[in-house]
Every structure is written in C-alpha cells, then in structure tokens.
Amino acid sequence: MSTREKSQGDVGRRDFLKLFGAAGAAASTLPLGGSASADEMVAAATGKTHRHVTAAAKSHVGSTGYEFFNVDESAFIEAAVDTLIPSDSTGPGAKELGVATYVDRQMAGGYGKGDRLYLEGPFGEGTPEQGYQLPMTPSEVIRAGIADVRAYVQKSHKSTFEGLSAKDRAEVLADLESNKIELPTVPTATFFGLLLQLTIEGYFADPMYGGNKDAAAWKMIGFPGADAMYADKIEPFRNKPYKAEPKGIQDLI
C-alpha cells in the first residue's frame, strides 16, 4: 500500500507503526543498520554493559548537533521524517522524537560508511533477495538522494522540500515510493527504502542512539524496553496487564 493510500485513511500510518513496533521494538534497542559492536549486542541482550560502551553512550548525552548532514541536508531530513511519521492524537512524530539525529549518527558511523558491506563489485541490477547491489555506501546514497530530490522539488515546485506544505511533501514522498520520480544519481527505490527504514529504526530504537526521545515510542506501544528479564513478573501479572516505565540501555548501566 502506498504512502498516499495510507494517508487517505484505508490503513492509518500510525496503526501500521503500532503493529510494526509491537513486533520489532525489541530488535530496535540496537540500530538495525548493523553498526553496533559485539559488546553492544551483548549489553542489549543481557543488561550487562561493558565500560567502553558506557563511554560511547555518555559521549552523546545532551548532543544535538549534526555530525554528518550539512544545513540543507538536515532541513530535508527533518522535514522528511516528520512527513513519514507525523505527530497525531495517538503519539508524537518522528521529528519530535529526534529521529533526524538518529539518521545523522547512523550516516556518520560505521553503517553509513559501509563498514559491513561488500563494496568491491561487480554490481549487477540484482533482485531484492540478493540484497544491496550498489558501489555506494549508505551515507553516499542518502546524500546523493537528498540532492536529487531537492533538485526535483526546486524544478517542479520552485521551492525547497522543507518549504513545501505537508500535503505536497507527502505527495513527493508517495511519488518516490511508487517510483513515479526517477532520480538521476541513485535508484529511487533504494533511496526511499533506506530513508523509510532509517526513519522507522530511529523512531523505535533505544534512545541512546538519538531517536525515540524519552522512550516515547515505546510508551506508545507498551514496550518495556531493553530490560529483558521478566521471570519474576510472570506469576504476579498472569492474565493481567503489565505496565512499566520503559528502560533503555543507559538506564541499565
């Protein structure tokens, strides 16, 4: 179902996110892009955090500056994530929860640099089942895609993407999703798919990675967070709702 169809009310975007979040929020305690270290994976699974992970987490506390995006790119990303997951009566939007910061950190880090991707070629067109088939790193795809979309919007609307109305931004993203816009530098489907993936990741990821501010997305779907030990809760809460304040990785340090 396209972005435009969802926006027309057949299946609300927020309903989709709640369903996705209930199934995938546990995995989102780490960046799904794959830039987490083995120690971070152990920490998320066991609640036992190694010392250098603690230092890495603390290095971002209170940090609001962008590490990868320039001024124009950050304005685009903020508008894009806000359009993909807007605020509504059910819960906050992606921009409010700092998803743009999450995307920025992923692009500045190992995932964005392609540390775990094979980038030596040959590069055929491939099928979706064959995975990533480009010589560009994810950060290069995002940067080039942003430039392509900004050029398209300037030509077609005489405006910047962030300067468009919410309706027009949604239409541009819907056209990207349905491949109605052909980007000159990167495959449209690859750029839009990566942008959507990063937005959803950032919305549900552990707050220490920049998004999901104050664990608001977890609270919205009733996910208790990174604390994976609930054995003592089974009997007292059998057939009863279990409500707890979500805990992120930093809360377990």
Residue 19's pLDDT band (cuts 50, 70, 90)? low
Residues 6+ apart with CB under 8 A from 204: 20, 21, 24, 25, 28, 211, 212, 217, 218, 223
State how many domains the chain has: 1
Q: Does the pLDDT of residue 17 top 90, yes or no?
A: no
Q: Does the pLDDT of residue 62 top 70, yes or no?
A: no
With a pLDDT cut of 90, the percent of the chain lying above it is 53
pLDDT in tens, 94-108: 999 999 999 999 999
Cβ atoms of 164 and 172 within 8 Å: the answer is yes
Q: Which amino acid would we find at residue 186?
A: V
Residue-number span of the structural domain to which 164 is assigned? 14-252
Q: Does the pLDDT of residue 20 top 70, yes or no?
A: no
Give a yes or no: residue 3 inside a domain.
no
Give a yes or no: residue 1 inside a domain.
no
Average pLDDT of the residues of the chain = 81
Q: Does the pLDDT of residue 92 top 90, yes or no?
A: yes
Give a yes or no: residue 8 inside a domain.
no
Give a yes or no: residue 4 inside a domain.
no
Give a yes or no: residue 199 inside a domain.
yes
Cβ atoms of 145 and 183 within 8 Å: the answer is yes
Residue 65's pLDDT band (cuts 50, 70, 90)? confident
